[in-house]
Structure 1
Amino acid sequence: MVIKKIITSVLAGVTALSLAACGAPRFTVNDAGEKVFNLKLGHNMAEDHTVHIVLSEFVESVREKSHGTINITIFPNGTLGSETDMIAQIQGQALDMAKVSASTLGNFSKLYNAYAVPYVFNDKEHYFGVMDSDIAKEVYESTEADGFRGLTWLDSGARSFYTVKRPIRKPEDLRGLKIRTMDSKMAIDMMKALGGSATVMGYSDIYTGLQQGVIDGAENNVTAMRDHGEVAHYYSYDEHTRIPDIIVMSEKIWDEMSDEQRAVMTECAREASQEYIGKWAEFENKVVDKAKNEFGVEFVTDVDKAAFQEACKPIYDALKTEQPEVYNIVEKIQNFKVQK
């Protein structure tokens, strides 16, 4: 497994270096004296995924509104490696932009970890409001010294528990269960607080893990049931976290752009975020419909969220003491008032 990861990283690096060496320069200057940018954007989703569809629309909008001075080529399907690989490539100036999870970005700026705190968002509307606020801007700019910045966000739904043998309506239902989580301290701490046993494994291993009883369940947004609905029979809407995806771009490229070009990038990115909200909701609905009608999955809504929130309070206490800078963002999020 270790050798496989090393080979994957090496191949991703070789691919990136080849792109940097063989691709068009980052910018040229046209007859009007304007910088014309030729940029590369990577993501790890398939070309029929909503992410790719919306990013393709974003690319076209940027080209049109910049009058052809910003041209972006998308590299989907994880062609350039993992999310961490792509960030490294941005830092090495072999890539210009990428779509990555806020969880991954937590390895570069602790402030991104605020998004992974259980129940930091009250509900969907609160989440949307925060992600369009100055709070998000503060987090975006926290990686400037690392060579990249956040540009905008994409909805990734609420993460809940899904299981093989029984639904999860209260924290006590998790006792004795092995639940797959991301390789994230926050996710592991959450499982400990709720009484379950965190089992870290790759997404591609979850199906087999559920099928063979290596794990009893997992936690993810509802679209995971597209892949795991045949073996996981219950999806319980406890909605413990809402972790966005983030579009990041090279700080060097951002600094090279004119004020007008930055304005175009910002405007088109904001439009992409709003467009994605509706498309993501449609995607979720299609997955739920298929999981119910083809796989027989039971979607459980009578979940005692208050009990889950109470059980997660020790996480906030520890955060306040151990990571005050993250707790500061958490407080700002919780004090944010949605404009009616």
Structure 2
Amino acid sequence: DGKGTIYGLLKDDYIIRETSAPSGYTLAKDVTVSADSFDSKGATATITDKKAVTTVSGTKTWKDNDDQDGKRPDSIKVNLLANGKVVQSKTVKASDNWKYSFTNLPEFENGKKITYTVTEDAVAGYTSTVDGYNVTNNHTPATVKVSGSKTWKDNNNQDGIRPSSITVNLLANGRQVASKTVSASDNWQYSFDNLAAYANGQKITYTVTENAVAGYTSTVDGYNITNTHNPTTPKKPQVPNNPTTPKEPQVPSNGNKVTPKAYTQGKTYEKTGKLPQTGNESSMGMMLIGLVTLLLSLGLVVISRFTI
């Protein structure tokens, strides 16, 4: 019945100390019995053993890039299990620095030590891991991809001024965060990958711009860029109003026909018929003398041949 008696004690001051506590209980504190506590029957003291208690404490950790996507709740619910059975629950908030404690928990049950564990009610968008009594919630921030293409409207580079590459700039909420060189080897296509979808819980608006291209005007439709250049059209040659028709060349007159006659050496002949005009009488005379001389020479040759 938990009672005990010590006999033969003198009336004096004593300390009663428990050296061993029953299973599931803690050692009682020392009890002092003073000489004044004694009467004719002795002195009475009570030692009370308390059940052994324990505390379960833990911390909640968030791994969500400082709540980048804005999905972190205002509070979570942590459950305490004793030997696998939920015995308590507690709401944990940022105002608690995401810390919690379960206190004055019995350490033993039916003489056996109780095993305490913790769980957490599911948090949307997060996965939960428990290490001892510490709970970590993980959320991988959402990502997006921005991709587009470049279109040239320049009549198949008719003027030969299309550049070998262009620079496309990526803007997040109006602020440039990345750039990319795009060329024909990429089929004039580009993409920016693994971009954060949110910042401070707000959806990010992504836009693109292009560094100016000489000789082209640029338009953007979504993430697609079109560069337009109007090729130069050559001017048509001017046609004269009244083209000059060349004059027909003058055909010289044939003059009078001269019929050659046979000449005899030593005989004098008179000029008959008109010779073509060549400019003046002196010239005509010279031509006549030359012709006569030639004919005479031919005549002499013929005569000489027959004479021989």
- Please give the range of the TM-score, normalised by the shorter of the 2 chains: under 0.3
Q: Which has the higher strand share?
A: 2
- Compute the TM-score of the two structures, normalised by the length of structure 2: 0.21
- Compute the TM-score of the two structures, normalised by the length of structure 1: 0.19
